[in-house]
Amino acid sequence: MKYIVCQEPGNFVLKEKERPTRKAGEALLKVKKVGICGTDLHAYAGNQAFFSYPRILGHELATQVIEIEENDKGIRVGDNVIVMPYKSCGSCVACVNGQTNCCTEISVMGVHSDGGMQEEIAVPLDLILPAKELSDDEMTIVEPLAIGAHAIRRSYLNPKETVVVMGCGPIGIGIMKLAQIKGAKVIAMDIDQGRLDYAKEKIGVDHVVLVGEHTEEKIAAFTNGDMANVVFDATGNRKALESGINYMAHGGRYVLVGLSKGDLLFSHPGIHAKETTLMCSRNATNEDFQLVIDILKIGKFPTSSFITHNVDFSEMINHFDTWLDPANGVIKATVNF
C-alpha cells in the first residue's frame, strides 16, 4: 500500500509498504480523508515541538472499518469511524483522574508515532468512535474542533461572557464557533484581514481586530473598558502568547491552546493585579469528541466554508508548500484517499 512520509523538514516522500495486520483489540481502517493541521505544517517546516523524523503525518482522519472484532461500541465492518489520535497509558496520575489528554506517556498519532497519511491503518478499539451520520468532511474536522471544545471546557466559560480568541486558524475558528454556541460574545484577533473577514462573515463573531497599533484600546472599546472574561491563544506565537494578558479582564482566565517551543515571559505584577487564572489546554478527551460529533450532526458548524482546499493523495506533495503561504487563504486543507 502507498503512504507519504515526512523524511526530514521540507521533504515528503511517497513510498510503498505491506498492509498493516490487525491485532486483537484493534480495528483495521481504510483512510478516506486526512485533514492537514498546524502540527503537520510545523513538522514540515521543522519547528514542531515533541517531534522526530522520519514520520508519517496525519491525525485528523475520516476512516471506514475494514476488519474488526465484536465490540461493545456496536461498530461493524463498513462503518465510518473517527479516530481519537491520543494513545494514553491508562495508569498514570493524569489518566486515573480522567485527564487522558495529558497522560505522562501520551503518544499522538502523526507526532510521536506514525499517523494516517497512508491507505490503511490499524488502531486500538478504544480510540475509535462511530460516525455513521457524518460526511467524510465532517469526520475530518472532528479532531481540531474537539481541541477547541476542550479549551472551552477548561475555561469554565459561562453564557453572556466575552471572549477574545487570538488567531483565526482552524483551532481558533473552532473555539469561536463553540464559544458562540455556548452563548458567549466573541472578539476575533489576527494579523490577516482575510481570516478576520471569514470569522466575521462565516462564523458570525461580534467583533474583529486586526493586530497592530491600538489593539488593546480596540478591545477596551468593544467591552466598555472591562476587557474579556476569557482570552484564548490559538496562535502558538510567542509575542501573541505574552500579550494575551493585556486583553483579559480583572478576575479573568487566560487559556493557552497554541504551543510555542520557547520560554514565555509575563510581568508578575501584571498577572497578579488581575488575579489571573492562567491555564493550558492540551489535546481533547472522549467527552470533547462526542460533543463535537453531536454539534456536527445538527449542522451547527459551517463545514463547507471551513475546508478551503482539497486535493487527492497523489497530489498532496505538490500542493503542501502552497498551504504554508498565508496569501493562498488556507483555513483547512484536506487530502482525499
| Percent of the chain residues past pLDDT 90, beyond the cut | 92
CA 244 – CA 163 distance, rounded (Å): 11
Q: What count of other Cβ atoms lies within 10 Å of the Cβ of residue 66?
A: 17
Rounded mean pLDDT, 284-292: 97
Cα separation of 205 and 283, whole Å?
A: 24
Q: Lowest-pLDDT range, 43-47, 108-112, 173-177, 283-287?
A: 43-47
In angstroms, the CA 225 to CA 206 distance is: 16
pLDDT attached to residue 294: 96
pLDDT tens-digit series, residues 134-172: 999 999 999 999 999 999 999 999 999 999 999 999 999
7 grid coordinates: 523524511
Residue 172 · residue 187 · CB < 8 Å: no
Q: What is the mean pLDDT of residues 38-59?
A: 86
Residue with cell 479549551: 151
1-43: pLDDT as tens digits: 999 999 999 999 999 999 999 999 999 999 999 999 988 988 8
C-alpha pair distances (Å), 160 with each of 209, 223, 302, 326: 20, 12, 22, 33
pLDDT for residue 67? 98
pLDDT of residue 45: 85
Q: Is residue 13 classed as helix, strand or coil in its secondary structure?
A: strand
Give the torsion sign (CA, 265, 269, 272, 276): negative
Q: What is the pLDDT of residue 19?
A: 95
pLDDT tens-digit series, residues 69-117:
999 999 999 999 999 999 999 999 999 999 999 999 999 999 999 999 9
Please tell me which residue, 310 or 42, carries the higher pLDDT value: 310
Sign of CA dihedral 23, 73, 64, 5: negative
- DSSP state letter for 46: T
Q: Which three cell numbers stand for residue 20?
A: 498493516
Domains and CATH numbers, the chain: 2-132+302-336 (3.90.180.10), 147-280 (3.40.50.720)
d(CA 196, CA 201): 9
Alpha-carbon distances of 11 from 46, 113, 174, 318, rounded to whole Å? 10, 18, 30, 11
Cα–Cα nearest to 134, from 286, 27, 291, 293: 293
pLDDT at 221 > cutoff 90 = yes
Give residue 262's pLDDT: 84
Helix (H) or strand (E) holding 140: helix 136-155
Specify which residues 129 forms β-bridges with: 82
Distances (CA, A) of 233 to 27, 91, 144, 166, 188: 36, 30, 15, 5, 11
Q: What is the pLDDT of residue 206?
A: 98
One-letter amino acid for residue 171 of the chain? I
Place of cell 461500541: 73
What's the CA gap between 131 and 134, in Å, rounded? 6
Mean pLDDT, the chain, rounded, equals 95
Q: What is the pTM of this model?
A: 0.95
Give the pLDDT of residue 47.
Answer: 77
- The answer to whether residue 49 scores a pLDDT higher than 80 is no
Task: Give the count of alpha carbons within 13 A of 27, CB side only.
Answer: 28
Residue 331: name the closest of 300, 310, 301 by CA: 310
pLDDT tier, 326 (very low <50, low <70, confident <90, very high otherwise): confident
What DSSP character marks residue 200? I
For residue 18 the three cell numbers come to: 505491506
**What does residue 65 show for φ and ψ, rounded to 5 degrees?**
-75, 125
SS3 334: strand
